[in-house]
């Protein structure tokens, strides 16, 4: 059985069913799919937990696996006020794994995710986990002006963003990866953007940011954007980037507002010197030579992945304006989730074929979410 090598967000909308006198909560995570799920993030409503178990707090909440071993967990508050408890579950295909939530002494764990505002580099906002890194551009940067992110390659599982900015030499590999990806005025490593005819509307750099949480399992940031013109109409955007540990993918939630019932969009990423591309159901995976490099062969191949929400209909795979795109319509004012992924041939994913398999499995996992029940 293949094992999926990434994590994905799986939201638990389960009610709490508590037995009288119970001190612990039992959480079952069911994997009804045909794919093993490894280190996949699940979410619980922490408000429901503490309402039924007031002895549990954010400072003492402990999550253990079926063997009684404590695993990393995180409590944070969303920008709309909901408090969540998250942890990462590993469940074999067709099986159910059980976890326990209780009050106890929390162990210390390595932080595997990080993001921050970077005022020393024209208000970039940089993010990373133990596999990937990248940044989005802020209002002070004159070029590029785009919704698209930059991809930073990594060959280590340690956090590198602060080190690279401190060195101010991130276009050279100092043993942990580098920035060898070219964005320009494109959608870069992947973004959801409106289009008109055969032209993608790139939008602009973010205007404001608000970091919601910062590890150890998840970092999340919300960006707002100035309205921009699409066919003579003003469109505004709020985007939420969620970066979890142990995955090559970022979840990007988009709220577009427009004076229409539907908005044509593409989930697109720019193509440079592409050596392989695989189009699938709601996904695209491609591999290309390092694009911002004096020696592309020495700097390896960069992998890019795009995954649309499985609930989207009439998704058309194609090429537009130099980008690989998934084209469909969204409803303004309604959240539209997409996932963008990246990897590096010198960072644990040596071949294009392996990357295509990872993206395919990730898209399959999004279409078959884990079922979480709190007993």
CB 82 within 8 A of CB 11: no
68 and 119 assigned to the same domain: no
Q: Which residues pair with 37 in a beta bridge?
A: 91
197 and 345 assigned to the same domain: yes
> Which residues of the chain fall short of a pLDDT of 50?
1-21
In a domain, 157, yes or no: yes
98 and 177 assigned to the same domain: no
In a domain, 98, yes or no: yes
In a domain, 21, yes or no: yes
In a domain, 2, yes or no: no
What pLDDT score was predicted for residue 37?
A: 98
What pLDDT score was predicted for residue 2?
A: 38
CATH of the domain at 43: 2.60.40.1180
In a domain, 17, yes or no: yes
CATH of the domain at 331: 2.70.98
299 and 234 assigned to the same domain: yes
Tell me the backbone φ, ψ of residue 229, rounded to 5 degrees: -85, 130
56 and 150 assigned to the same domain: no
What pLDDT score was predicted for residue 22?
A: 52
145 and 245 assigned to the same domain: yes
Count each helix (H run) and each strand (E run) in the chain, helices first: 4, 26
Rounded Cα distance between 347 and 340, Å, is: 17
Tell me the backbone φ, ψ of residue 221, rounded to 5 degrees: -140, 145
What pLDDT, in 10s, does the model give residues 104-161? 999 999 999 999 999 999 999 999 999 999 999 999 999 999 999 999 999 999 999 9
In a domain, 342, yes or no: yes
3-state DSSP assignment of residue 360: helix
Domain encompassing residue 190 = 114-367
45 and 155 assigned to the same domain: no
CA 151 to chain centre: 13
What pLDDT, in 10s, does the model give residues 249-286? 999 999 999 999 999 999 999 999 999 999 999 999 99
In a domain, 3, yes or no: no
210 and 357 assigned to the same domain: yes
67 and 125 assigned to the same domain: no
Dihedral angle at the C-alpha atoms of 223, 217, 250, 287, nearest 10 degrees? 140
User: Any residues with CB less than 8 A from the CB of 358 and at least 6 apart, and which?
Assistant: 4, 5, 6, 248, 285, 305, 341, 343, 349
203 and 150 assigned to the same domain: yes
Query: Peptide bond before 22: cis, by omega within 30 degrees of 0?
Result: no
85 and 161 assigned to the same domain: no
Rounded Cα distance between 264 and 327, Å, is: 8
pTM of this structure: 0.93
What pLDDT score was predicted for residue 283?
A: 98
151 and 286 assigned to the same domain: yes
In a domain, 1, yes or no: no
Number of domains in the chain: 2
CB 217 within 8 A of CB 88: yes
């Amino acid at each position: 059985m293949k094992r999926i090598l990434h994590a994905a967000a799986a939201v638990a909308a389960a009610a709490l069913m508590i037995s009288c006198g119970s001190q612990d909560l039992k959480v079952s995570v069911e994997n009804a799919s045909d794919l093993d799920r490894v280190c996949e993030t699940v979410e619980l409503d922490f408000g429901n937990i503490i309402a039924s178990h007031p002895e549990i707090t954010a400072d003492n909440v402990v999550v253990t696996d079926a063997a009684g071993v404590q695993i990393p967990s995180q409590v944070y508050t969303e920008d709309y006020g909901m408090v969540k408890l998250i942890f990462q579950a590993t469940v074999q295909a067709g099986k159910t794994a059980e976890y326990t939530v209780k009050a106890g002494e929390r162990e210390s764990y390595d932080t595997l995710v990080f993001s921050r505002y970077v005022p020393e580099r024209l208000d970039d906002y940089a993010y990373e986990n133990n596999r990937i890194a990248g940044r989005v551009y802020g209002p002070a940067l004159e070029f590029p002006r785009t919704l698209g992110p930059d991809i930073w390659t990594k060959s280590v599982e340690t956090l590198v963003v602060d080190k690279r900015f401190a060195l101010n030499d991130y276009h050279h590999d100092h043993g942990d990866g580098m920035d060898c990806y070219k964005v320009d005025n494109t959608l870069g490593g992947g973004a959801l953007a409106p289009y008109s005819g055969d032209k993608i509307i790139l939008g602009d750099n973010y205007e404001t940011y608000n970091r919601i949480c910062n590890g150890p399992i998840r970092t999340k940031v919300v960006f707002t954007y100035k309205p921009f013109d699409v066919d003579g109409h003003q469109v505004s955007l709020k985007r939420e980037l969620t970066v979890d540990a142990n995955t090559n993918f970022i979840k990007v939630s988009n709220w577009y507002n427009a004076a229409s019932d539907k908005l044509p969009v593409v989930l697109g990423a720019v193509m440079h010197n592409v050596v392989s591309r695989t189009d699938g159901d709601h996904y695209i995976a491609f591999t290309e030579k390092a694009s911002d490099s004096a020696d592309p062969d020495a700097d390896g191949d960069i992998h890019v992945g795009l995954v649309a929400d499985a609930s989207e209909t009439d998704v058309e795979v194609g090429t537009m304006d130099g980008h690989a795109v998934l084209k469909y319509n969204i409803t303004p004012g309604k959240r539209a989730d997409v996932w963008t992924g990246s990897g590096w041939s010198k960072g644990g994913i040596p071949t294009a074929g392996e990357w295509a398999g990872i993206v395919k499995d990730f898209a399959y996992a999004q279409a078959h979410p884990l079922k979480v029940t709190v007993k």
